[in-house]
Chain A
Amino acid sequence: MAEIKITTPLTDEVVMKLKSGDKVLITGIIYTGRDSAHKRLSDLIDKGEKLPVDLNGQIIYFVGPTPARPGMAVGSAGPTTSERMDAYSPKLIKMGLKGMIGKGGRSKQVIDAMIEHKALYMAATGGAGALISKCIKSSEVVAYEDLGPEAIRKMEVVDFPAIIINDAFGNDLYMEGVKKYSR
């Protein structure tokens, strides 16, 4: 299947065009975050305070890269398991987050929030961090530096490969895949 090129920030129009199973190549700015960063963002939302990054239309990549070697933008940078973010993602989606990249299934609450607010969940290839690092052109810590590998980074990516797992219509590639191939 041909890959569909998309650029960030994502609009509702782009989100509504994509279906589970579509392969995309993402270009533009994406933000990174893992459990600890999500917890802090979620605490700020609960307190009604301003977030360190504007999430409107943005994509969060669940990743904690290895340190970059001198002269490199980033080290190995593949996705981490998404379910650990399930407790926080619906809140961020409500704040305008349009996409998440990780690996593994999401909770019903996250899927419902994606349908309600038009957002996507995508998977990158887990365990292909060296290969994926080639699509990341720059990376800079923009919040929570004290979290080390878990800090929020702003990354510039070109043709970052991902596959749509959950679209905004409630389809789920993980379920469809098993249905097709189980015997």
Chain B
Amino acid sequence: MKTVKYSDIVEGVKKICMDANFDLGDDVLESFKKSRDIEESQAGKDIFDQLLANAVIAKKEKIALCQDTGFSVFFVELGDDVKISGGNLIEAINDGVRAGYSEGYLRKSICHPFTRKNTGDNTPAIIHVDLVKGDSLKITIAPKGGGSENMSRVTMLLPSDGIDGVKDYVVNRVRESGANPCPPIIVGVGIGGTFEKAAMIAKKALLRPIGSINPNPELAVLEEDLLKRINNLGIGPQGFGGRITALAVHVEMHPCHIASLPLAVNINCHSSRHKEIIF
């Protein structure tokens, strides 16, 4: 049995809230560089140059990569041999968010759905906990901006729509989103499960490193096909027209009910931020 202290979780979460917003992952930066070379439109190439320069400033000066520092979304893997001492895990994560968003000069973007009154500290965080075997606790933050989240959808297709129906829906979703989600984007696709499971796996799919190949060969082919069709839309960086609309398409699949074919499309912007901490 491993014991993890409440205060250590708060400190750790505080740090990853800030790191995620200042320090873009190497996989994202690499993909900017590669895409810059492929992009044919000059306005599109300029965007990649700006995004690379933006990442340098953000990291060096600790200014958020994007002013929308997002909803604080967490994926937690809690080992069944882990005990939290001094308090509750969910409260510790929320305390970490409060501290990180305040100390990091990050924007507080969470409000009441109708009155729009801001909660003032970016809580409550969205926390997904998976119970796993073992004695480690892994906490991943993936701050999620509103612009790209608003372009995401869950739909319940008919089983007869099949794989072609899935592909058409995903491509159309990207087409209709246009410049709103700050292309170049990363497209997370969740196929199967239930209404909420599809959304969940679509969001989780966004965590996979850009450039990685799906271990499921069936899905790897689907991802390649979708990426090609999406980039043929011509939306381009920031929607100004160009070859690169998406940097990657990541698909996750789950068995579903004999009556359904749930599909979720979770769009992420190029500011694809995530950081993790393991206890």
A residues contacting B by CB (< 8 A) are 1, 21, 23, 35-36, 63-69, 72, 75-78, 80-81, 83, 103-105, 123, 125-131, 133-134, 148-149, 163, 173-174, 176-183
> With A and B bound together, what is the CA distance between A162 and B217 in angstroms?
42
Q: Which of B48-62 contact A (CB under 8 A)?
A: 50-51, 53-54, 57-58, 61-62
A126: contacting residue among B40, B107, B235, B238, CB under 8 A? B238
A129: contacting residue among B66, B180, B233, CB under 8 A? B66
Q: Given that A126-B269, A133-B63 are known contacts, is A174 also in contact with B108, CB under 8 Å in the complex? A: no
* Complex interface: chain B residues within 8 A of A21 (CB): 43
The 22 listed contacts between A and B (C-beta, < 8 Å) are A75-B67, A75-B105, A76-B67, A80-B146, A81-B147, A81-B180, A103-B179, A104-B179, A104-B180, A105-B179, A126-B66, A127-B269, A129-B65, A129-B66, A130-B64, A131-B57, A133-B63, A148-B120, A149-B67, A177-B43, A178-B234, A181-B241
* Complex interface: chain A residues within 8 A of B236 (CB): 177-178, 181
* Complex interface: chain A residues within 8 A of B65 (CB): 76, 127, 129-130
Q: How far is the CB of B158 from chain A (nearest CB, A)?
A: 28
Are B107 and A64 closer than 8 Å at their CB atoms? yes
Are B116 and A36 closer than 8 Å at their CB atoms? yes
* Complex interface: chain B residues within 8 A of A163 (CB): 43, 240
In this complex, the interface size class of chain B, counting residues with CB under 8 Å from chain A, is 35 or more
* B96 CB within 8 Å of chain A: no
Are A181 and B107 closer than 8 Å at their CB atoms? no
Chain A residue at minimum C-beta to C-beta distance from B270:
A127
B interface, by DSSP: helix, strand, loop or mixed?
loop
8 tightest A-B CB contacts, nearest first: A177-B241, A181-B234, A182-B234, A126-B182, A104-B180, A76-B64, A131-B54, A130-B58
- Other contacts beyond A103-B179, A103-B239, A177-B41: 11, CB < 8 A: A66-B107, A81-B180, A123-B238, A126-B179, A127-B51, A148-B108, A148-B118, A149-B118, A177-B236, A181-B41, A181-B236
> With A and B bound together, what is the CA distance between A1 and B68 in angstroms?
30
* B202 CB within 8 Å of chain A: no
Chain B residue at minimum C-beta to C-beta distance from A132:
B54
* Complex interface: chain B residues within 8 A of A67 (CB): 105-107
Are A76 and B63 closer than 8 Å at their CB atoms? yes
* B47 CB within 8 Å of chain A: yes
Chain B residue at minimum C-beta to C-beta distance from A128:
B54
Are A75 and B234 closer than 8 Å at their CB atoms? no
> With A and B bound together, what is the CA distance between A80 and B239 in angstroms?
14
Q: Given that A103-B182, A183-B234 are known contacts, is A75 also in contact with B63, CB under 8 Å in the complex? A: yes
> With A and B bound together, what is the CA distance between A174 and B239 in angstroms?
6
Q: Which of B251-278 contact A (CB under 8 A)?
A: 269-271
> With A and B bound together, what is the CA distance between A85 and B222 in angstroms?
37
Are A64 and B67 closer than 8 Å at their CB atoms? yes
> With A and B bound together, what is the CA distance between A67 and B239 in angstroms?
28
Q: Given that A123-B179, A127-B270 are known contacts, is A178 also in contact with B241, CB under 8 Å in the complex? A: yes
Q: How far is the CB of A6 from chain B (nearest CB, A)?
A: 18
* B155 CB within 8 Å of chain A: no
Q: Given that A75-B105, A149-B108, A180-B234 are known contacts, is A130 also in contact with B63, CB under 8 Å in the complex? A: yes
* B140 CB within 8 Å of chain A: no
> With A and B bound together, what is the CA distance between A129 and B54 in angstroms?
7
> With A and B bound together, what is the CA distance between A80 and B236 in angstroms?
18
Are A176 and B67 closer than 8 Å at their CB atoms? no
> With A and B bound together, what is the CA distance between A104 and B269 in angstroms?
13
* Complex interface: chain B residues within 8 A of A131 (CB): 50, 53-54, 57
A134: contacting residue among B47, B57, B235, CB under 8 A? B57
* Complex interface: chain A residues within 8 A of B53 (CB): 128, 131
Are B63 and A69 closer than 8 Å at their CB atoms? yes
